[in-house]
Amino acid sequence: MKGHLHLICSRNSLGQNHLRQQSFRAPLHLSKPHDDEDTLVVNLVTPTAGVFDDDEIDYNIHVEATARLTLTTPSSSRVYRSRNGGTGRVHQHLHVAAGAFLEYYPEPFIPHSGARYHQQNSLHIDEGGSLMFFEWLSPGRVASGESFEYHELRWDTDLWYADQLVARERYSLTPAEDSVSALTMTYPHAHYLGCFITGIEPPIDAIEALNSPDIYIGCGPLIHGGHTIKAVCNGSLAARKTLRALRQLLYTAHQKKPPHLGRFG
Amino acid sequence: MLLNDHEQWQQNPRKSETTSDLLLWLLQVNDSQFPSGAYAHSMGLEGHMQRGLVKKPEDLETFLERQIVPNLLHFELPYLLRAHQAASANDQTALQALDHELDAWKLGAEMRNASRQLGNRRLAMLLKLDQDEFLQNYAVQQPPCHHLIITAIELRNAPPATAACAFTYQTISGYTSAAMKLIRLGQERCQGILRKTITQVAPDLQTLIDQPTDRIGWFNPTLEISSMRHARAHERLFIS
């Protein structure tokens, strides 16, 4: 299945955030966007169960000057066992203009046993653009006895700030080849959280104070224009608690209230 | 394996140094007395120790085997070989691009700065030892001078496998030396761990050279977190 999501978020003459253009195709669907805390909240839903072999999905998200967008998923993203050896692919191209704000806040990514998946994230932030880009990678369906049993996950991220490449990551996670050993040496069912931020000065001491026996978290500046936060958590509850606290801290630093996503009470 | 590589290099028209010159140069720049400043860095190991992830010699062995060797094989050595190829071809533009790109690859500020500091110290010392026009021209451009890039330049007249061996040794011996100051580890055990770890890398070096891959990178958020936290640790022995 080949799907796409193309969005352009703008602010109109009345000062309201709105989707100036939108186009999507299965396996993606949008719920009705709504404004909360001066930010347009767009929920991405997947009518199919998740990503299967050879699925290809393209995201093109543009947030124009002064507009504010929170893009989120109300449920976890799943990648199923590859039955024909094919790989599910997702390409995400996000662009944030000067003075604009984008929060990308997905629920956990759950790779099933035998899954093959390749995600490419290309994040382009103009100088003065603000970004909170979160990622949550779970070890799999732990409650069903599947932990790090996927076949291969490839994860490529490039972050460009003011036309300068400021972060590059290339992961090939194949649990059979020990490539997740950095995670499992901390916790046997470790959840990984990653975050890139621009345009917001993160409260590093407060973020690192989230450390506990179940949470290992660090934050630091990129070479230019932003920060990265990484955390390894002992299980999904610790991961959710961390992400929730982190989001609150970053919004406070941003001097804004976080839009209510309907799942944090 | 390395001899064959060396014999091939002997036939290379760019080769300008004799084998003995090269070997002596290699020994000098990899000696622990060479003032690159590496002794002041633990490259995330002290942070791991503070978190309790490396407490005893067995943990160090596991850390090197499962975190550092894979990082060398999947990221740093392939990157070094690209830089070595550019340096051997006298391509300063490509070297600078690789040097700047490393700033983006190294997400943790402390690790990024450590890599730059080691490279700059090494470059400054090399410039004092050798009237190397290529190095002088490179320094004038004021690039980041990551350690990996400067190592590739200093050994551009050596076969690629030799450059890869040198960088491997520098990296792993840096960790084992730091470990002696951080955990209860004697010299003999330290040498045993060093030997075991470098022999783990050796069989894969020729494959890296013969079959270069387009895709490089390694996943190690735990070491990145250790490094990020180390920058603000209340107590620390090492700069990184």
Q: Which residues are bridge partners to A161 per DSSP? A: A125, A164
pLDDT at A264 over 60: no
Q: What is the pLDDT of residues A93-106, one digit of tens each?
A: 999 999 999 999 99
A155, A172, A218: residue with CB nearest B225 = A218
The pLDDT confidence band at residue B10, using thresholds 50, 70 and 90, is low
Tell me the pairing of strands A88-96 and A116-125: parallel
Q: Inspect the interface and report whether the beta carbons of B104 and A172 lie closer than 8 Å.
A: no
Phi/psi at A189 (nearest 5 deg)?
A: -120, 55
Q: Examine the pLDDT at B12 and tell me if it is beyond 60.
A: no
User: Across the interface, do A232 and B216 touch by the CB < 8 Å criterion?
Assistant: no
Output the CATH code of domain B43-219.
1.10.4190.10
Which pLDDT belongs to residue A42?
96
The per-residue pLDDT for B15 is: 53
Q: How confident is the model at residue B7 (pLDDT cuts 50, 70, 90)?
A: low
> CA nearest B100 in A: which residue?
A165
Nearest CA in chain B to A229: B225
Predicted local distance difference test score (pLDDT) of residue B22 = 85
Q: What is the pLDDT of residue A155?
A: 95
pLDDT, tens only, A28-78: 888 889 999 999 999 998 877 888 889 999 999 999 999 999 999 988 999
* Closest to B106 measured CA to CA, from A202, A221, A94, A127: A221
Interface test with A, best of B69, B223, B225 (most A CBs within 10 A): B225
Bridge partners of A77?
A: A109
Neighbouring C-beta atoms of residue B234, cutoff 10 Å: 5
pLDDT at B155 over 80: yes
The CB-based long-range contact list for A15-20 (8 Å cut-off, 24+ gap) reads A17/A67, A17/A68, A17/A69, A20/A64
Q: What is the ipTM of this complex?
A: 0.94
Domain borders along chain B are: 43-219
**A168 contacts in B (CB within 8 Å)?**
101, 104-105
DSSP bridge pairs for A136: A193
Task: Confirm or reject contact between A212 and chain B (CB < 8 A).
Answer: no
Candidates B53, B104, B216; nearest CB to A185? B53
Tokens of A7: 């969005």
- Chain A interface test: which of B50, B107, B229 (most A C-beta within 10 Å): B107
Q: Closest chain A residue to B48 measured between Cα atoms?
A: A186
User: Does residue A178 sit at the B interface (CB-CB below 8 Å)?
Assistant: yes
CB contact (8 A) between residue A181 and residue B66: yes
From chain B, pick out residues whose CB is under 8 angstroms from the CB of A215: none
Contact A205 B109 (CB under 8 A): no
Residues of A in contact with B228 (CB under 8 A): 218-220, 230
Least confident interval from A224-233, B28-37, B83-92, B143-152: B28-37
User: B interface toward A at CB cutoff 8 Å?
Assistant: 51, 53, 62, 66-67, 70, 74, 100-101, 103-105, 107-110, 112, 215-229, 231-232
Contacting residues for B15 by C-beta, under 8 A, at least 6 apart: B9, B157
- From chain B, pick out residues whose CB is under 8 angstroms from the CB of A217: 225
- Contacts of residue A183 in chain B, CB cutoff 8 Å? 221-222
Give tens-digit pLDDT for A154-187. Answer: 999 999 999 999 999 999 999 878 789 888 989 9
Q: Among A158, A186, A221, select the one facing B109 at the smallest CB separation.
A: A221
**Residue B146: per-residue pLDDT:** 98
Q: Say if the Cβ atoms of B215 and A170 lie within 8 Å.
A: yes
Q: Dihedrals φ, ψ of A186, to 5°?
A: -90, -50
Chain A residue numbers touching B227 (CB-CB < 8 A): 218, 220
- Note whether A167 contacts B104, CB cutoff 8 Å: yes
Angstroms from A29 CA to nearest CA on chain B = 32
**A16 vs B130, residue with greater confidence:** A16
d(CA B157, CA B143): 21
- Residues B70, A173: C-beta atoms closer than 8 Å: no
- C-alpha distance from residue B117 to each of A23, A191, A221, B150, B155 (Å): 49, 33, 17, 11, 19
**A265: pLDDT confidence band, cut at 50, 70 and 90?**
very low
Question: How far is it, in rounded angstroms, from Cα A231 to Cα A239?
Answer: 8
Q: Yes or no: say if B102 and B144 are a contact pair by the CB < 8 Å rule.
A: yes
The residue among B219, B226, B229 with the most chain A CBs within 10 A of its CB, best to mutate, is B219
| Residue A17 C-alpha, separation from nearest chain B C-alpha, in angstroms | 33
CA distance A204 to chain B (A): 10
The helix (run of H) or strand (run of E) holding residue A43 is strand A39-45
Among the partner-chain residues B101, B221, B231, the one whose CB lies closest to the CB of A230 is B221
Show the CA angle centred on residue A228, arms to residues B79 and B226, nearest 5°: 75
A123 touches chain B (CB under 8 A): no
